[in-house]
């Protein structure tokens, strides 16, 4: 059961807490928005990063992140 | 329009633009309707081409809202306007059938600025809505009906689960509704008597030209799925020799080069060009036009039509448009090509809707199909016209 | 109640009140400067956000201690009704009332923040703006009600709080703040 990190692009404003917490999954693009390293829009969250991903979802000031299975 | 008793099913390709069959529309329950549409193989005519039966089956158990989409926000498209002008009864028939099968809480027909209001509304809510390129997108349409701005919403909550008034919402293009009505009247076998095995039926084509005079009969015509592009041009009265290329699917579409006019307008036929029949837009590019100049203007238009919600689209598309404009000037820097490549990756899939993805498809197709012309530009020449008029 | 206990409660009440003011000031300042997602103080974006939230919650805890100790201190003459309904107190009713008002605001802001998933980002943001009202009210309350007002140490702390907020707001509203380190067009938050 794969968990994916979904960005609600209508809310995201490039604050960047998520990129800091999940550097294995995300980088900044040149405008500050999170870019998935794997190239697919909703990055797969490996088991060991699950906890950090939850923290990232909670930390986003605009509630732009969600975990989907 | 003559209203006769229920007539025999139309035999040729003229189905949607023929006289209304007359008589009340048959009432079908949901299960039978889904079964009928599955056998008929009807897919959406609004651009995405999703199987209609599946859309109906996806609705939640609660009382839904039905929305007929006649927004027609794409400038090159005219079919929904013509359909509502010529055969509004068919579109309303489709909504009536769904009303009976689904017992919705509301039934809405959403009209864009260029689409005429049907004279008899039959108790259907007809709304004229704010028009823009993205306003006809499914979630944007629902958003506007909910009283918000006509911009897309996050797709992780699909409208068939929660849409207008928080209810499961079925959004179908006006032409799809008309096709649905005919399928219910005349049956699945009849529907499949035109078109292909895996892409049956007919569809409306908006046939337009880059300069006046390319076509004797520009406008909207109806054809079977799988019709060769060459035949469409012939029916429109175009001289194939004067056609440099054909843009299929509007500004989010792809180019068919002028030497490939035997391509059939169907999903499998167009797939090699990265195109789909989409909403039936066929736009002819004349021999004299510089395709890069045209593409630069289109990309600029698309950048301007961004809903300006999502960072990658809002920032990436103007950047792409600017790069395309620089490429459109002969003597362009070859580094513009990898730059376009990079920008395409940056905006694809990173937004609430497919506007950036469609723009990328158009740009990628331009660079592929007009590869030789691109090389000419990089070497410093262009043998085509560059009209010095204000950007669109 | 023994005199020692009364004094202890009174000291605890004052001390926790001042500490709460400092905690909220820290939270407010970090909230102001991190608004853009900019890094500062070597903490990084996530770090600033975390400290912002922790400082706020610490402040809430300190306010609870502040209220608790003063409720039980007979000298403070604080009644339960004064916790929620402002300007009814017998001791310095105006300044105490501001404290009550601050607690009311704090309660709403805290509850909405903890339930932000349920209320959504727009409601959350609208209520969060009330922190700009909360802080000056809390500051005025502490200067007016506290018996330590106008002592050197209290003045120093208050001055430091005010100075840091003014600096933060000035920086925030200055033109250079607009560039977040990224070059990009502003979003139109349409809905």
**The tokens of C146 are what?**
């506290």
Note the pLDDT of residue C94.
81
Note the pLDDT of residue B146.
97
**CA-based max dimension of chain A:** 32
Rounded Cα distance, B352 and B139, in Å: 9
B308 and C191 in contact by Cβ < 8 A? no
Note the pLDDT of residue C151.
80
Mean pLDDT (whole number) for B147-158: 94
DSSP E strands, chain B: 65-70, 106-111, 125-128, 169-173, 202-209, 219-224, 227-228, 243-248, 254-257, 264-265, 281-286
Rounded Cα distance, B296 and B284, in Å: 17
Instruction: Residue C126: count other Cβ atoms within 10 Å of its Cβ.
Output: 11
B314 and C187 in contact by Cβ < 8 A? yes
| ipTM of the shown complex | 0.94
* Closest to B202 in 3D by CA, of B48, B41, B15, B8: B15
Chain A touched by B318 (CB under 8 Å): no
Size of interface A-C (CB pairs under 8 A): 45
Question: What is the residue range of C141's domain?
Answer: 3-178
pLDDT band at B2 (very low <50, low <70, confident <90, very high): very low
CA distance B114 to chain C (A): 24
> Rounded to a whole number, what is the distance in angstroms from the first to the last CA of chain B?
38
- The residue with tokens 């056609």 is B243
B156 CB contacts (<8 Å, ≥6 apart)? A6, A8, A66, A68
Note the pLDDT of residue C49.
87
Neighbours of chain A (3+ CB pairs under 8 A): B, C
Q: Is B314 helix (H, G, I), strand (E, B) or coil?
A: helix
Bridge-based pairing of strands B65-70 and B169-173 is parallel
Q: What is the residue extent of each domain of chain A?
A: 3-62
Distances (CA, A) of C190 to A31, B170, B308, C118: 20, 24, 8, 21
Ranges of residues in chain C with a pLDDT under 50 are 191
Note the pLDDT of residue B19.
86
Rounded Cα distance, C52 and C40, in Å: 12
What is the share, in percent, of chain B residues with pLDDT greater than 70? 97
C187 and B318 in contact by Cβ < 8 A? no
Structure-model confidence comparison of residues B20 and B153, the more confident one: B153
Q: Which CATH number fits domain B202-286: 2.40.30.270, 3.10.20.600, 3.30.300.30, 3.10.310.10?
A: 3.10.20.600
Q: How many CA atoms lie within 13 A of B277 on its CB side?
A: 31
**B10: DSSP letter:** P
Rounded Cα distance, B300 and B284, in Å: 20
pLDDT band at B5 (very low <50, low <70, confident <90, very high): very low
Chain A touched by B193 (CB under 8 Å): no
Q: How many CA atoms lie within 13 A of C160 on its CB side?
A: 14
Helix (H) / strand (E) element for A5: namely strand A3-7
**pLDDT, tens digit, for every residue of B70-109?**
999 999 999 999 999 999 999 999 999 999 999 999 999 9
CA distance A33 to chain B (A): 7
**pLDDT, tens digit, for every residue of B28-68?**
999 999 999 999 999 999 999 999 999 999 998 899 999 99
Q: Which CATH number fits domain A3-62: 3.40.640.10, 3.90.76.10, 3.40.190.10, 3.30.70.20?
A: 3.30.70.20
Best to test chain B binding among A10, A16, A67, A68 (most B CBs inside 10 Å): A10
Neighbours of chain C (3+ CB pairs under 8 A): A, B
Beta bridge partners of B385: B289
**pLDDT, tens digit, for every residue of A10-69?**
999 988 889 999 999 999 999 989 999 988 889 999 999 999 999 999 999 899 999 998
A9 and B311 in contact by Cβ < 8 A? yes
Number of H helices, E strands in chain C: 7, 0
* Cα C117-B140-B324 angle, rounded to 5 deg: 110
pLDDT for residue B14 is more than 50:
yes
B390 CB contacts (<8 Å, ≥6 apart)? none
- Side-by-side strand order, sheet with B202-209: B219-224, B202-209, B281-286, B243-248, B254-257
- The CA radius of gyration of chain A, in Å to the nearest whole number, is 11
Note the pLDDT of residue C189.
66
CA distance B147 to chain C (A): 10
Note the pLDDT of residue B392.
42
Instruction: Residue C19: count other Cβ atoms within 10 Å of its Cβ.
Output: 18
CA distance B27 to chain C (A): 39
Mean pLDDT (whole number) for B11-26: 88
* CA B288 to chain CA centroid, nearest Å: 27
Name the residue among B153, B313, B350 with its Cβ closest to that of A41: B350
* Closest to B295 in 3D by CA, of B245, B233, B242, B355: B245
Note the pLDDT of residue B341.
96
Bridge-based pairing of strands B202-209 and B219-224 is antiparallel
Distances (CA, A) of C17 to C22, C62, C64, C190: 9, 7, 9, 41
**The tokens of C126 are what?**
């609208």
User: To the nearest whole number, what is the mean pLDDT of chain B?
Assistant: 93
The verdict on domain B30-192 having CATH code 3.30.1330.60 is no
C37 and A16 in contact by Cβ < 8 A? yes
- Side-by-side strand order, sheet with B169-173: B125-128, B106-111, B65-70, B169-173
**The tokens of A44 are what?**
């797969």
Rounded Cα distance, B24 and B183, in Å: 14
B309 and C185 in contact by Cβ < 8 A? no
Q: List CB contacts (< 8 A) between A7 and chain B.
A: 350
Please, are residues C82 and C88 in contact by the beta-carbon 8 Å criterion?
Answer: yes
**C172: DSSP letter:** H
Mean pLDDT (whole number) for B250-271: 95
pLDDT band at B3 (very low <50, low <70, confident <90, very high): very low
Note the pLDDT of residue B391.
44
CA distance B62 to chain A (A): 24
Rounded Cα distance, B111 and B77, in Å: 14
Q: Work out how many domains chain C is built from and give that number.
A: 1
Instruction: Residue C155: count other Cβ atoms within 10 Å of its Cβ.
Output: 13
Helix (H) / strand (E) element for A28: namely strand A26-28
Please, are residues B276 and B264 in contact by the beta-carbon 8 Å criterion?
Answer: no
Helix (H) / strand (E) element for A36: namely strand A34-36
Note the pLDDT of residue C35.
63
Name the residue among C45, C50, C121 with its Cβ closest to that of A15: C45
Torsion angle of the four alpha carbons B120, B125, B127, B133, in this order, in degrees rounded to the nearest 10: -100
Rounded Cα distance, B17 and C121, in Å: 48
Mean pLDDT (whole number) for B207-219: 95
Rounded Cα distance, C97 and C140, in Å: 10
Is residue C188 included in any domain, yes or no?
A: no
**The tokens of B31 are what?**
């299960």
Q: List CB contacts (< 8 A) between C182 and chain B.
A: none
Beta bridge partners of B202: B224
**CA-based max dimension of chain C:** 65
pLDDT band at B4 (very low <50, low <70, confident <90, very high): very low
Instruction: Report the CATH fold assignment for B291-379.
Output: de novo design (two linked rop proteins) (1.20.1440)
Q: Is A21 helix (H, G, I), strand (E, B) or coil?
A: helix
Please, are residues A37 and C24 in contact by the beta-carbon 8 Å criterion?
Answer: no
């Amino acid at each position: 059961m794969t968990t994916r990190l979904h960005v609600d692009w209508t809310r995201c404003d490039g604050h960047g807490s998520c990129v800091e917490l999940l550097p294995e999954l995300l980088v900044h693009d040149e405008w500050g928005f999170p870019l998935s390293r794997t190239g697919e829009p909703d990055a797969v969250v490996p088991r060991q990063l699950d906890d950090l991903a939850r923290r990232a979802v909670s930390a986003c000031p605009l509630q732009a992140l969600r975990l989907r299975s | 329009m003559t209203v006769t008793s229920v007539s025999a099913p139309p035999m040729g390709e003229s189905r949607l633009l023929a006289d209304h069959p007359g008589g009340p529309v048959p009432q079908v329950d949901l299960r039978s309707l889904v079964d009928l549409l599955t056998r008929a193989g009807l897919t959406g005519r609004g651009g995405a081409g999703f199987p209609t039966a599946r859309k109906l089956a996806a609705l939640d158990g609660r009382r839904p809202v039905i929305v007929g989409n006649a927004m027609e926000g794409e400038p090159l498209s005219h079919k929904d306007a013509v359909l509502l002008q010529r055969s509004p009864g068919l579109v309303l028939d489709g909504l009536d059938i769904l009303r009976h099968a689904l017992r919705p809480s509301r039934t809405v027909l959403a009209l864009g600025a260029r689409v005429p209001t049907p004279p008899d509304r039959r108790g259907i809510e007809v709304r004229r809505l704010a028009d823009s390129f993205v306003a006809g997108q499914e979630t944007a349409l629902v958003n506007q009906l909910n009283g918000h701005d006509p911009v897309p919403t996050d797709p992780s909550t699909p409208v068939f689960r929660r849409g207008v008034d928080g209810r499961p919402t079925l959004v179908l293009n006006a032409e799809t509704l008309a096709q649905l009505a005919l399928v219910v009247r005349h049956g699945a076998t009849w529907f499949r008597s035109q078109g292909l095995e895996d892409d049956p039926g007919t569809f409306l084509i908006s046939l337009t030209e880059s300069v006046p005079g390319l076509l004797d009969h520009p406008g909207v015509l109806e054809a079977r799925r799988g019709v060769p592009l060459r035949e469409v041009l012939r029916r429109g009265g175009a001289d194939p020799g004067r056609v440099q290329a054909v843009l299929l699917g509007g500004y989010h579409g792809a180019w068919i080069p002028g030497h490939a006019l035997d391509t059939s307008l169907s999903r499998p036929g167009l797939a090699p060009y990265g195109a789909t029949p989409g909403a039936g837009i066929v736009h002819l590019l004349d021999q004299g036009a510089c395709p890069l100049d045209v593409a630069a203007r289109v990309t600029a238009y698309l950048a301007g039509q961004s809903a300006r919600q999502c960072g990658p689209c809002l920032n990436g598309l103007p950047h792409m448009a600017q790069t395309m404009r620089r490429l459109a000037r002969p003597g362009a820097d070859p580094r513009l090509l990898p730059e376009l490549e990079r920008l395409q990756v940056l905006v694809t899939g990173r937004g609430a809707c497919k506007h950036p993805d469609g723009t990328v498809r158009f740009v990628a197709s331009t660079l592929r199909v007009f590869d030789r012309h691109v090389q000419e530009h990089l070497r410093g020449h262009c043998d085509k016209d560059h009209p010095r008029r204000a950007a669109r | 109640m023994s005199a020692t206990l009364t004094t202890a409660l009174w000291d605890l009440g004052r001390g926790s009140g001042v500490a709460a003011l400092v905690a909220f000031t820290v939270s407010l300042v970090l909230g102001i400067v991190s608004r853009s997602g900019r890094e500062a103080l070597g903490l990084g974006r996530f770090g600033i956000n975390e400290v912002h939230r922790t400082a706020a919650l610490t402040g809430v805890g300190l306010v609870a201690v502040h209220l608790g100790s003063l409720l039980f201190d007979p000298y403070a003459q604080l009644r339960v009704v004064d916790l929620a309904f402002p300007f009814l107190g017998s001791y310095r009713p105006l300044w105490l009332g501001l404290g009550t008002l601050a607690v009311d605001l704090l309660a709403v802001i805290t509850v909405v923040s903890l339930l932000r998933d349920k209320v959504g980002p727009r409601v959350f943001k609208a209520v969060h703006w009330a922190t700009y009202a909360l802080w000056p009210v809390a500051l005025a309350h502490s200067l007016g009600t506290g018996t330590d007002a106008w002592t050197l140490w209290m003045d120093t702390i208050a001055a430091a709080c005010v100075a840091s907020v003014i600096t933060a707001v000035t920086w925030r509203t200055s033109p250079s703040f607009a560039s977040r380190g990224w070059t990009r067009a502003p979003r139109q938050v349409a809905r």
